[in-house]
Amino acid sequence: MQREVSLHLPALRIVSLVPSQTELLFAIGAGQSVVGVTKFCTEPPEAAAKVAKIGGTKKFDFGVIAALKPDLIIGNKEENYPAGIDQLAQDYPVWMSDIVTLDDSLAMIRQIGLLSGRSIAANDMASKIETQFDDLRKTVSTDPGQASTPLLNTPAKQFIPLVNVAYFIWQKPYMVAAGGTFIDEVLKLGGMVNVFSGLKRYPEIELESVRDSDAEVVLLSSEPYPFREKHLAAFQQALPDQKIILVDAMPFSWYGSQLLRTAAYLRQLRMQF
């Protein structure tokens, strides 16, 4: 983002404006330094519930933040709003992540480890995530209709071929994850071809466009819109030729410590196809 941030390391009073990065701070052992989080920062549940709330990801309570006297504020380019970040940056060091690829997320994990004085734990976590995805890549086909190597811990003739998918994040209006998103990156890593990757970010669409697309599977995410079992029948009626599956959003869109379980989740999900 071409911003320069100066602070004394490690930061001892951190306000986190992003749920996945809040969870990461606790996971690497920096929880004692977290003095403020958003109302959407719910992980880890017991620890996050005890931390002062500074508003939402797109509406900050500047008075509460001032009272907390942070020496570092951590945000994200997509999840937070520019005007709020600009205002905070006038008074505090504000470090921003910008996550689109797996490499972006691994760099973010390592950098937050440095900022919080937990580099060893953060570097170890990033290395484990990297290894898990390297193993996953060896099992995923790179060519449509072709398989690569066998799935780990499965009979030798089982593979992960590419499959065309649409990933829904909202309804009324219907919205999907498209190109230039971390979700699109995770789909690719799991051997899934996003039929809307040619569009940008989170476009509104009509169900007819899914029906007329090459999508074989439709994924209904658990957040930000909470798709549940009750939505399956309506989608299946509208899209009779596609398989409809509910998915946990965290492995797809939480780009911190949740990534420790993403590779395994993608393998399990592909078994449902």
Residues in a beta bridge with 75: 96
Mean pLDDT of 30-52: 96
Q: How confident is the model at residue 152 (pLDDT cuts 50, 70, 90)?
A: very low
Mean pLDDT of 106-132: 97
pLDDT tens-place string over residues 69-97: 999 999 999 999 999 999 999 999 999 99
Answer yes or no: same fold for 14-132 and 143-271.
Answer: yes
DSSP track, 77-101? TTTS-HHHHHHHHTTS-EEEE--SS
Give the three-class secondary structure for 103. helix
**pLDDT (0 to 100) of residue 154:** 46
Architecture of domain 143-271: 3-Layer(aba) Sandwich (3.40)
pLDDT tens-place string over residues 203-216: 999 999 999 899 99
pLDDT surpassing 70 at residue 149: no
Sorted by where each begins, the domain ranges of the chain are 14-132, 143-271
Mean pLDDT of 144-169: 62
pLDDT surpassing 70 at residue 143: no
Average pLDDT, rounded, for the chain: 91
Structural tokens at position 236: 């299946």
pLDDT tens-place string over residues 257-272: 999 999 999 999 988 8
pLDDT surpassing 60 at residue 47: yes
Architecture of domain 14-132: 3-Layer(aba) Sandwich (3.40)
pLDDT surpassing 80 at residue 170: yes
pTM of the full structure: 0.88
d(CA 57, CA 132): 30
Mean pLDDT of 157-169: 81
**pLDDT (0 to 100) of residue 105:** 97
Mean pLDDT of 34-40: 97
Mean pLDDT of 176-189: 96
Give the strand pairing for 163-170 and 34-37.
unpaired
DSSP track, 175-215? EE--BTSHHHHHHHHTTEEETTTTSBSS-B--HHHHHTSS-
Q: How confident is the model at residue 142 (pLDDT cuts 50, 70, 90)?
A: low
d(CA 118, CA 134): 24
H/E stretch holding 127 reads helix 119-137
